[in-house]
Chain A
Amino acid sequence: MDILARIPQLLVYGIVSGSILSLGGIGVSLTYSILGFSNFAHGDTMALGAYFALAFLSLLAGAGIPGQPFGSLSFGLDFVLSLVLAMIATSAVVVLLDRLLFRRLRLRKANRITLMISTIGIALVLRNVIQFFWGPQPHYYSAKIQLAIPIRQLGIRVKPDQVFIVSIAVILVTLLHCFLRYTKMGKAMRAASDNSTLAQVTGINTERVILWTWVIGASLAAAAGALTGIENKFITPDLGWQMLLSIFSAVILGGLGNPYGAIVGGMIVGISEEVSTAFISTGYKPAVAFVILIVMLLIRPTGLLGRRN
């Protein structure tokens, strides 16, 4: 097949995976700008969300909530409910981890790198807690096979589930935008990310801001994880770890610390990874993010939307 003819289809895949990377990246970016460290457990937080969604799906099925699929989607109300519940449960776990670990380190004024090392430990623990309860084998949200619908004018095939993934991402990003723009807490978060000392002096409750940062990051991560499960058709304990490099590349590309940058970066990395498969071996798809990262670090380390300092 002609290489160029494949590109529109690869763009579709790229937009879908870019939406997921954006959702994952927002959390990394917020944690970085407000708490001041890179959270290497974020990928595994996504995986935790994906498995929580799986658990709630079976709980809901047990409780008799109908699993009748919506229209031509491969899932129904049960999945949407599970997604919301998974976002809540993942946030609860992350807030608990903050209380047990990160808050203590924060109060002790531990340096950034100590915090980063501790996130690596958390990453290992989360991934293996998942493996303990669910095993290393893949799990499926639904056994249904969904046929892609051809759109001949554009020369592409799109699955209804993919439309759903992108829509959910757009809805969540819009909600986040409104939250950051129009609510008091959102404004406080932006202030804290600009200058945390100044924010504290003006009477902003930093601990509450941090709590919200974790909740938003974890909720979006859980959504990203569950949506990855829909797109890939299966989930494994290392799904988040595998995406971590792409997410960090996306966040740095967009400008570390800027949630809008994470969205731009996520889209660019997602699309580049998919389109690259037209030119190079699929085996090297994960390395594309790495190349983007290195090029960006060489040219403009502050990122596309980052401030120069």
Chain B
Amino acid sequence: MELFIGIINYLVFFGITAGTYAVLSLGLNLQWGYTGLFNIGVAGFYAIGAYTAALISGPPPDVWDGRLVGGFELPFLIGLLAAAAVSGFAAFLIGLPTLRLRADYLAIATIGIAETIRLILKNESWLTNGVWGLQQIPSPLYEPIYYGAKGFVDTHPELYPWVQQLILKAYNWFYLLLVVVVLVALYYFLKRLTRAPWGRVLKAIREDEDVAAMSGKNVFAYKLQALVLGAMIMGIGGALYAHYARFISPNTFKPLYATFIVWVMLILGGTGNNKGAILGAFVIWGTWAGTDFLTNYLPFTASQVAALRIIMIGIVLEAIILLRPQGLLPEIRRSRRLSRGEKKTGEAESPPP
């Protein structure tokens, strides 16, 4: 029973982390999967979201803190929206000089912004507390839920111990629910957007920019919108992370955990498919977290096992690119769906003008 409870509790924790990654993966899918924008600075937008949320909702500077400002103790939702807004604004600034150019330039500029943001987080102690990071970020509704669950267990001693243990972890259950709600909301929001004409223009741009431009679409404006919206979603991911982890530092946002793993998630799951983006996040995070136990079993040092696990992620990426470039859940091509629909119902949709 102990083991069973342990596994359940771990799965809840796993769901929260993987769900947060799925938010990042959805953001990247809008940029890369739908619009073909090569953003390899996911870490930067993720970090901006996390720090914004922490500064908006966190406590004011303590005496031992290197900070001078921030910590407004505003509600979670305001922090979440601010995280999206600031992250989107950063994307707007980075998009202006790069989106008219070839994909290579955007890629390099996004690496640059991610690294520059890390430098700012490290150096501007008055705002970010430097390498020590921000602590005591409040988790929304933590006190009522945690003490409520504790009080319930205390007043009901007749419950089985394993039921009590599950109830005591009520906060994690709540946070998992919160992450799932955000994820589902984003999923349906993106589904609507990408099925609307707006989303179809994005795909047209991805397939052939010149053709999209020739049909009178302002390619630059659409790309900028997709970049900003994707970055806003990544900012929300950052806020979700900060409020759960309750501690963030510049090292949380190193390119490996915050950028590359998200790319592998999206590519494995299925570029251009939002369900795939979510599936990929759970599969890759499962593989990553699931190989953690190897540390105790392989005849190597912890650092060597960590390196092996990253090599594994790298090889998974190359294997997908070589063997199944469309990912686990390939993008649903509209043309195919149309022709199938025609066969079934016999009614053709209006032909393209």
CB within 8 Å of B: which residues of A?
Answer: 32, 37-38, 40, 101, 104-105, 110, 112-114, 116-118, 120-122, 124-125, 127-129, 131-132, 135-136, 241, 244-245, 248-249, 252, 256, 281, 283-284, 286-287, 289-290, 293-294, 297-298, 301
Contact = CB atoms under 8 A, between A and B. Distances in A.
Interface of B: 36, 38, 40, 97-98, 101, 103-105, 107-109, 111-113, 115-116, 119, 122-123, 255-256, 260, 263-264, 267, 300-301, 303-304, 306-308, 310-311, 313-315, 317-318, 321-322, 325
Contacts of A281: 123
B115 A256 contact: no
Contacts of B105: 252, 297, 301
Contact of B325 (A114, A131, A249, A294): A114
A299 to B, nearest CB: 9
B321 A128 contact: no
Contacts of B304: 131-132, 135
A266 to B, nearest CB: 15
B112 A122 contact: no
B308 A132 contact: yes
B318 A290 contact: no
B314 A290 contact: no
B318 A121 contact: yes
A37 B111 CA distance: 16
A26 to B, nearest CB: 17
B109 A297 contact: yes
A293 B115 CA distance: 13
Contacts of B315: 121, 125
Given A32-B104, A245-B115, 6 more contacts: A37-B104, A121-B318, A244-B111, A245-B111, A289-B112, A290-B116
Contacts of B321: 105, 110, 114, 117-118, 121
Contact of A117 (B36, B101, B267, B310): B267
A128 B97 contact: no
A131 B104 contact: no
A121 B314 contact: yes
Nearest to A293: B112
Contact of B101 (A37, A128, A129, A297): A297
A256 B104 contact: yes
A135 B304 CA distance: 7
B122 A294 contact: no
A135 B97 CA distance: 39
Given A105-B322, A118-B321, A120-B263, A248 B311 contact: no
A269 to B, nearest CB: 12
A116 B107 contact: yes
Contacts of A128: 307-308, 310-311, 314
8 contacts: A104-B322, A110-B321, A118-B321, A125-B314, A132-B300, A136-B303, A297-B101, A297-B109
B320 to A, nearest CB: 9
A120 B119 contact: no
Contact of B314 (A32, A122, A135, A294): A122
Contacts of A287: 115-116, 119
A116 B260 CA distance: 13
Contacts of A244: 111
Contacts of A256: 104
Indicate the member of A37, A105, A125, A241 with the most B CB atoms within 10 Å. A125
Given A38-B107, A124-B310, A281-B123, A118 B116 contact: no
Contacts of B116: 286-287, 290
Nearest to B319: A121
Contacts of B109: 290, 293-294, 297
A250 B85 CA distance: 32
Contact of A121 (B104, B107, B113, B317): B317
Contacts of A127: 310
B103 to A, nearest CB: 6
